[in-house]
Amino acid sequence: MMKVLHLAAGNRWTGAAAPAFAEVVALREAGVDAHYAYVGGYKLQAKIGHLDFAHPLIRKAQHPMAFLQSAKAVERLVDHHRFDVVHAHLTYDHWLGRLSVRDRKTRLARTFHARRVLRSDPFTKSLVSRSAAVFVINDAFRSAEPLRDRAPLFTPPPLDTRQFVPEGPDVREKYGIDIETPLLLMIGKLSAGRGFEEGLQTFARVRADVPAAKLMIIGHGEHRPALEQLAKELAIEPHVIWAGYHEDDLAEHYRAADVLLFTARGSDEGHRAVLEALGCGVVPMTFPLEGMTALLGELGPLLIATHPTPESLAATVSERLGDDLAALRRRSWEKAQEFSYAAAAKRLIGSYESILW
């Protein structure tokens, strides 16, 4: 049986942590002895700490002594389980993996989750050159200068097609939203630069064409007061629902919506929310962001705005709301099946096998 360890130095269910953990679960369901190492002592440990394949052994602090202690802990885990592959997700993990992999039979792999870490400095080049396999969570990264000669494999975030499904309860009644009301949705951390200003501006323009529409925003963060003020200035405040942060009932919130507005990349640039929306039969309409065409495929021309502006996205939304939305929702769900756990595991296993045998 193949044995794989994924390293993700995260402490929250955000960024690289969620897709990395999903890959581990996908591999385990496919018969691989896959494990997950992460930063202990935070909310993430409370969520997954009961699992025998999840190891909270990366230290909270990231000073040199803590790094050496974490590397030693990873090395002991690798030696104990005799992993075939150590798969890192962040640069910190990559260094941990490089130090802990001493047996030539164990292969080191890396997924790049953000454009900002695709640097051409000697340290990055050294890590890439010592890695047997390279993956990217965003298809656009494959042509980045540090990676293009390594033929990186595109591995989008795995989608739990049992949780994110069109069938099931939704939260419309909870928020007093009539079944006939067109509902748009945004999700993410409420921080500056995360596209919420553009989303509110888009919604204000959509309401000019669809006066009954409402917008639900899922997430929390320090930028909410500024966004609430912008909603007032745009005269859309009564039509915006601030739903707060949701995790366990997230699918119920997606299912309440007709359209997901997606206007900016997150800390992890795999655009996971787009896939979750697709799985729930919700139509994502987006700015022309890097990697979006690879996710939406033939739906891209219908759902990706021509320009990264509220005016362009609002025109796309208004036009699609006037189409056969039920048919578009069905096509969205069909597209989501390409990102299932089974599909993700098949991609990863094929790549691992190519570097092991």
Confidence (pLDDT) at 46: 85
> Which residues have a Cβ under 8 Å from the Cβ of 123 and sit 6 or more positions away?
none
Edge-to-edge, what's the strand order for the sheet holding 240-244?
A: 240-244, 214-218, 183-187, 259-262, 283-286
Segment among 66-70, 331-335, 341-345 with least mean pLDDT = 66-70
**pLDDT tens-digit readout, 108-156:** 999 999 999 999 899 899 999 999 999 999 999 999 999 989 999 999 9
For 213-245, give the DSSP string. Answer: -EEEEE---TTHHHHHHHHHHTT-GGGEEEEE-
**pLDDT tens-digit readout, 239-266:** 999 999 998 999 999 999 999 999 999 8
Arithmetic mean of pLDDT, 309-316: 98
Identify the CA nearest to 111 among candidates 225, 211, 24. 24
Confidence (pLDDT) at 332: 97
**pLDDT tens-digit readout, 182-195:** 999 999 999 999 99
Identify the CA nearest to 224 among candidates 212, 213, 235, 237. 237
Confidence (pLDDT) at 267: 83
Confidence (pLDDT) at 63: 86
In the predicted model, is pLDDT for residue 12 greater than 80?
no
Kindly report the average pLDDT of the chain as a whole number.
95
**Percent of the chain topping pLDDT 90:** 88
**Percent of the chain topping pLDDT 70:** 100
Is 0.75 surpassed by the pTM of this model? yes
Q: Which residue has the higher pLDDT, 108 or 64?
A: 108
Report the SS3 class of residue 123: helix
Confidence (pLDDT) at 72: 94
Q: How far apart are the first and last CA of the chain?
A: 13
Full set of structural domains in the chain with CATH: 3-158+340-356 (3.40.50.2000), 183-338 (3.40.50.2000)
Q: Which residue has the higher pLDDT, 150 or 11?
A: 150
φ and ψ of 352, to 5 deg? -60, -45
**What six digits make up the tokens of 137?**
């969570």
> Which residues have a Cβ under 8 Å from the Cβ of 36 and sit 6 or more positions away?
5, 6, 8, 20, 21, 24, 48, 51, 53, 54, 55
Confidence (pLDDT) at 184: 98
Q: How far apart are CA 11 and CA 326, in angstroms?
A: 39
Q: How far apart are CA 290 and CA 294, in angstroms?
A: 9
CB-based contact 29:341 (threshold 8 Å): yes
**pLDDT tens-digit readout, 15-62:** 899 999 999 999 999 999 999 999 988 788 888 989 999 999 999 888
